[in-house]
Amino acid sequence: MDFDSTLLAEAEGLDTREPTPTRPPSPPPELTALQPALKQSTLTFGTLQPAAYLPSLNKAQRTAVTAPSTGSLQILAGPGSAGKTKVLTTRVAYLLQQYKIEPEELVVVTFTNKAANEMKLRLSVIVGAATVEKLMMGTFHSVCVRYLRKYGKLINLPNNFIIADRDDCLAIIKRILPSILSSHSDDLKKELKPNLLLDVISKCKSSEMSPSDYRAQQAKVENEGARERMEAIWRVYEDYEAELAKDNALDFDDLLLRGLNLLQRFPRVVSKVKNVLIDEFQDTNGTQYSLVKLIAKASGSLTIVGDPDQSIYGWRNADVENLEKMVNDFAPVQQIYLEENYRSTGAILGAALAVVRQDTTRIPKSLTATHPTGSSVVLHCAPTAFDEASFIAAQIKHLVAHSGGLVDYGDVAVLLRYGALSRVVEVALQKSGIPSRMVGGHKFFERAEVKDLLSYLQLIDNPSYTSAFTRIINVPKRGLGEKSVKEILGVAKKKGWTAWDVAVKLAKGSGVVGLTSAQRKGVREFVKTVSEARGWAEEGKSVSDLIDLVCENVAYRAHLEKTQGPDAQERWMNVEELKSTNALRTFLAVSMLATDTETQDAKADKLERKVTLSTVHAAKGLEWAVVFVPGCENGVFPFYRSESPNEINEERRLLYVAITRAQGFCTLSHSMSRMTGATVSKKELTPFLSTVSKTYPTLFVKRLQKIGPTTRVEMARVLGRPAPSEELALQLIQAQ
């Protein structure tokens, strides 16, 4: 009996002494969904030998690709060091072709399905689709699924387990929560919402903390309130795990934990693996690193690609220290630095390195520009956030015109520390006639919480506005379903009233619409809130006061915490940002104009080139010819809730990532004051830049340097584009 058959037989409880042939189970639907459909697109691909692809690599890349197949290798690649994926892909090909490792003996892990699919397609060109399909390649979750489907019965896990998505997991918590919280305080009931509990459980699992481990921690806590909270969470965690087991289901965290358990108890499952390769290693968490150690234990051969300077996901439990752990656990480790940067000008790299090198604990590595110095990075100070946004809009128009058509709006990005900062920028771009789009989310006035509060304000200003009424009559939940709302609208139409008129009558006890007592109570509270706010508006109260009144009366923040889970804090920041205008009707006019413009934009040609608005986190891995980073202030970079040295260092890396998205032009800006809610706060330049600007006084300039023919030709080379016509450049400049 061969190796796999023996293990499968043990999993099935068969007598391994008998030569009983065992047939592996067919790939499950969940696994099939995680793998790309390669056959149709790659069957015609041929194969390439090392002599065909090695000459295209630079010296460091070639050293990484051809490193010995045994032993461990860290490929530390900076941003824009062209070919990180290419290096990992060709390393896999070289191991297969030159060192004759069988594809089944390699494990290749990426962080996204998209990255795995791209690598499979690239590899298919080199080694052929049939070979690629034999590789153990995918995300940590998909690799664990494959091992668990095949060998799960070794740990008493049926191979037909279900993978529970977030909605399934929330449904379980909602089912078990009432009985657990019945004996606890009302305050605790309000706090412990399903989304919050699921996040706590996920964090426990990512730290390999079982329910019993969590309870052991509770025993060490002296504060009675904290102990009560932890006890409730422990009971939810324990019952949640029991429900998953009863349903033969695993959540996403369980896929890793059960995979870890399988490999800890039965290391023979991966004893044939000869080399493990991991992409984006700086983003691995504790559980993932434990998996890597177990898979690579037998061979001791581990290749990773990563950049500690781009480790910006600590809030998702990523641990940049795993790079140092690898050095100790897999010694000796060969380190190869991919430091040639093919993206940015020398001036941009100089500014980025000056920022990140303030962290004296980082791995000392550099970046070497392959492009000329280019224009200096601009560091602009504006009196207010509105002035800062107007400056950005004006600079975008200036750059597009003076580039002579070399760049357009689609080549420009405004990178934000958090989403709420987009509001003033969006308004400024709109006023200047500059189209924009938001990556990884909605534009400010399209966000659900913003629309909710706008609808309340619209109804306060104009009670006959039915669209606003229908959006918020059941936000937060008041027990009024679609049927009840339709009945209210139907009565209004029949009687010639507004929907608000019907609600007022219902609040006063009228039976014009049949409602339950709970629904009537909800309508009464709704009418009371809007009526009170209307009185405040007539007295000239500010938008901020009205929003505060509505949010307090309807418990809107609690509503966000209940419905949005980990996103609640950022959504509340959007509510706070909404409070920065005083006059109600002026505010509504501006905001509704923005909303209407966005609606028209959505209907316009989707191919239109637009300025990109994005958070820095969502921009990682991307690049633009022109980048603006507003809000370079203390409290934004670093974020005001960042306190520990590790958190501060991660915030510094976040600014580094933002700067290194730029290819040709980069502008950093800050304002001397910024509105936080209804309060104007004085702001100071981020310490990440204040120290650098004092140490290197010529590193930044206050205004963009002149863009002439020489700069345009230079930038064309950086961007890999034809140099623009000077005649066209002159026309664009004159037309500005």
- Which residues does the annotation mark as catalytic? 84-85, 279-280, 310, 661
User: How many other C-beta atoms lie within 10 A of the C-beta of residue 644?
Assistant: 9
CA distance 255 to 288: 11
Q: Is 113 helix (H, G, I), strand (E, B) or coil?
A: helix
Question: Residue 546: CA atoms inside 13 Å, Cβ hemisphere, count?
Answer: 32
Cα distances (angstroms) measured from residue 86 to each of 62, 277, 311, 401: 11, 13, 21, 36
Query: What SS3 class is residue 102?
Result: coil
Q: How far is CA 383 from the centre of its chain?
A: 31
Q: Quick count: other Cβ atoms within 10 Å of Cβ 496?
A: 7
What distances in angstroms separate CA 115 from CA 84, 85, 111, 122, 278, one per listed residue? 12, 9, 7, 11, 12
What is the distance between the alpha carbons of residues 13 and 228, in angstroms, rounded to a whole number?
Answer: 44
Residue 445: DSSP 8-state: G
What phi and psi values does residue 540 have, to the nearest 5 degrees? 90, 20
Closest CA to 617 of 439, 411, 448: 439
Q: How far apart are the first and last CA of the chain?
A: 78
Nearest alpha-carbon partner for 421 in 438, 408, 435, 397: 438
Q: How far is residue 614 CA from its own chain's centroid?
A: 11
Taken as a whole, the chain contains a residue count of: 736
Counting other chains too, the contacts that 590-594 makes at CB distance below 8 Å and 24 or more residues apart are 590/427, 591/445, 591/454, 592/454, 592/458, 593/430, 594/426, 594/427, 594/430, 594/444, 594/445
Helices (H) and strands (E) in the chain, counts: 34, 19
DSSP string, 371-415: S---SPEEEEEESSHHHHHHHHHHHHHHHHHHTTTSS-GGGEEEE
**Cβ atoms of 449 and 579 closer than 8 Å:** no
DSSP H or E segment with residue 305: strand 302-306
* DSSP state at residue 725: P
Q: What angle do helix axes 194-206 and 166-181 make, rounded to 10 degrees?
A: 110
Residues 6 or more apart whose Cβ sits within 8 Å of residue 614: 413, 414, 415, 416, 438, 439, 440, 622
Eight-class DSSP state of 685:
B
| Closest C-alpha to 473, from 573, 571, 554, 588 | 554
Strands 611-615 vs 436-438: parallel, antiparallel or unpaired: parallel
Amino acid code (one letter) for 561: E
Report DSSP state, residue 675.
Answer: E
Q: How many other CB atoms sit within 10 Å of the CB of residue 557? A: 16
Q: What is the DSSP letter of 284?
A: -
Q: How far is CA 299 from the centre of its chain?
A: 34
Q: Helices (DSSP H) in 474-615: which residue ranges?
A: 482-495, 499-507, 517-538, 543-554, 556-564, 568-578, 584-603
Q: Rounded distance, CA 20 to CA 9, Å?
A: 8
- How far, in Å, CA of 559 to CA of 300, rounded? 51
Q: Quick one: which of 231, 162, 158, 165 has its CA closest to 202?
A: 165
